[in-house]
Structure 1
Amino acid sequence: MWSRLIWFQLRVPRFAFITWLAVRDRLSTGHRTAQWGQAQYCLYCGEPDETRDHLFFACPYTFTLWLKVTGNLFGMDPDPDWDTTITRLLTGHYDRLTFILLRLVLQVTVYYIWRERNERLHNHVSKPVEHIARLVDKTVRNRITSTRYYLRPRLQGLMQRWFGAHDT
């Protein structure tokens, strides 16, 4: 059930909410706003049909971000297809720490992709993918630190797993 990806103990409510909307395909993407007569296209790559599936992670910009922030957490190369990504998260066999990190990085990444998209749409300001990747990394590290993981036996090693996923 997809709810396991959204509603878990270490979630951040604003990230979980945006991810919940994305999973339910209820974000106001270009595909949906076209029904209201608004022009639609991907603000990252110019694709004429901005759907949820394109935005997360079929777009070259967002897939590059996804590759950077997941590191080796999946144990295999991530897929740009939204449904495949969600299925892998739900059916994959991950250890506890990896599963926590995968859910957290999914939520943080979806949030920052949506936020950057809206910045581009409303303020005409864009950031390079490396900047967004640093924001995601810092947010995940801050969330891990705020859990006081080192005092909780079930979470010990969480930060080490995060850093280990990004050693290249």
Structure 2
Amino acid sequence: MNQASLMRHIWKTSSNAESCWVGFVSSRWLRHHSIWSLPRPSTCSATWKAILDTQPVALRCSWVLLHDGHKTLLWHDPWLDGGLLSQLGLLLAPAVGRDFFAPVCSILQRLPCPATDPAMFSRWPEICASRTFTRLQEDTMVWTTTPSDRFSIQSAWNAIHSSQLEVPWHQLIWAASNHPRFSFIAWLATREALTLRTRAANWGITTERASYLCNQGDETFDHLFFRCSYTRAIWQALLKLCSYNCAPLDSWQGELGWVSAHFIGITLVDRIKKFCFCATIYRIWAEHNSCAFQNVAHHFTAVVSFVVEDTRGKFFIHDQATPDTPSSRAFLERWCISSSFTLATGTPHAWLVSH
């Protein structure tokens, strides 16, 4: 959200909004440049640097409606549908007698021959097809991601995050019923951002690489989740409580993908499964830190009990009814969680009388 808010300043400057701040920036930094051509100054405030960092995303959402091209830079401003003129054009511009800060009107008044102007050769059809809007009083900047053509924080936020695909474990880790602390540690584990012993050894902090929990192999993410005999026993016991009589996979990313594909849905049973997984990651990491920093270890059954108690405590009081099926009743009985049940909706049938 901070980046989206900072992007508002890019929009105000590019659209020449009437404000003291825009006036100051224009007189201080934009005597020749536009906001799109301005490089990051070597000496400026951290805030101004952060504002300029939002240029690439803001550029994708901005477009200039040309009136006469006097206030739009030829090479730097987004006046073509396909984006800015190429960097090759900037390199060739001085060789063909064109100014680095030339306005668009310099070519609109008299279109050069593409054969004699290689700086624009690749974009020539697009340049010839560009429109001018005579009803406008001057060149006008529009924000292309909103119906009103005006900047909004929401559209800026969407533009920042549009290129980031949703990961398959999103609903698993960030389910609304999960404990925030559990979700955070599980999220760090999915990104393999927890500091394991092998990572500390690679940093030169220690020479030991063996797992704190079993002392039988290098402490990697694949080992900790759930190749280690200690954590494997914990997760396998909890999988049985979740109605899965199977062993964990040897790969952490493989197991994460399997859980993401099976622990889906919004029923009470599905919410308990998601909570159980995040609580398991959290409790295993807590046990890891207990061994590392306090030299205190618990039997794996104690960690299983911690996860079960966390889950029961979370869902001891809830108001979500559960579909009345034998599997749902058996699941909740294993977890000792009470719930109201709803009968499955009947499907209508019609009988055909044979003649």
Query: TM-score with structure 1 length normalisation?
Result: 0.84
Fraction of identical pairs, as percent: 26
- AA aligned opposite 1:153: A
Aligned to 2:199: 32
Q: Does 1:22 align with 2:189?
A: yes
Aligned to 2:261: 91
Q: Distance in 1 between matches of 2:209 and 2:169?
A: 28
How far is 1:97 from its partner? 3.4
How far is 1:32 from its partner? 1.4
Contact 2:243 2:331 in 1 (8 A): no
Q: Does 1:152 align with 2:320?
A: yes
Per chain length, whose mean CA-contact separation is higher, i.e. which structure has more relative contact order (CA < 8 Å, sep 6+)? Answer: 1
Aligned to 1:55: 224
Secondary structure of 1:71 counterpart:
helix
Q: Distance in 1 between matches of 2:253 and 2:298?
A: 27
Secondary structure of 2:222 counterpart:
helix
Q: Distance in 1 between matches of 2:193 and 2:242?
A: 27
Q: Distance in 2 between matches of 1:139 and 1:64?
A: 18
Rate the CA distance shift 1:89–1:122 in 2: closer, same or farther, 3 A: same
User: Which segment drifts farther, 89-98 or 46-55?
Assistant: 89-98
Q: Distance in 1 between matches of 2:304 and 2:313?
A: 14
Aligned to 1:164: 334
Q: Distance in 2 between matches of 1:122 and 1:155?
A: 45
User: Which segment drifts farther, 41-50 or 4-13?
Assistant: 41-50
Q: Distance in 1 between matches of 2:238 and 2:176?
A: 21
Aligned to 1:103: 274
Aligned to 2:78: none
Q: Distance in 2 between matches of 1:6 and 1:121?
A: 26
Rate the CA distance shift 1:128–1:72 in 2: closer, same or farther, 3 A: closer
Deviations 1:35-56 (A, max 9, x none): 2212221011113410111101
Contact 2:198 2:218 in 1 (8 A): yes
Per residue, is there more helix in 1 or in 2?
1
Q: Distance in 2 between matches of 1:20 and 1:91?
A: 17
Work out which of the residue numbers 266, 276, 285 in structure 2 matches 1:114: 285
Q: Distance in 2 between matches of 1:92 and 1:70?
A: 11
User: Which segment drifts farther, 93-102 or 114-123?
Assistant: 93-102
Alignment gaps of 5+ in structure 1: none
Work out which of the residue numbers 293, 298, 303 in structure 2 matches 1:132: 303
> How many aligned positions are there?
163
Alignment gaps of 5+ in structure 2: 1-167, 337-355
Q: Distance in 2 between matches of 1:50 and 1:67?
A: 19
Deviations 1:88-114 (A, max 9, x none): 222237663333222111111111110
Query: TM-score with structure 2 length normalisation?
Result: 0.42
Which is higher, the Rg of structure 1 or of structure 2?
Answer: 2
Aligned to 1:142: 313
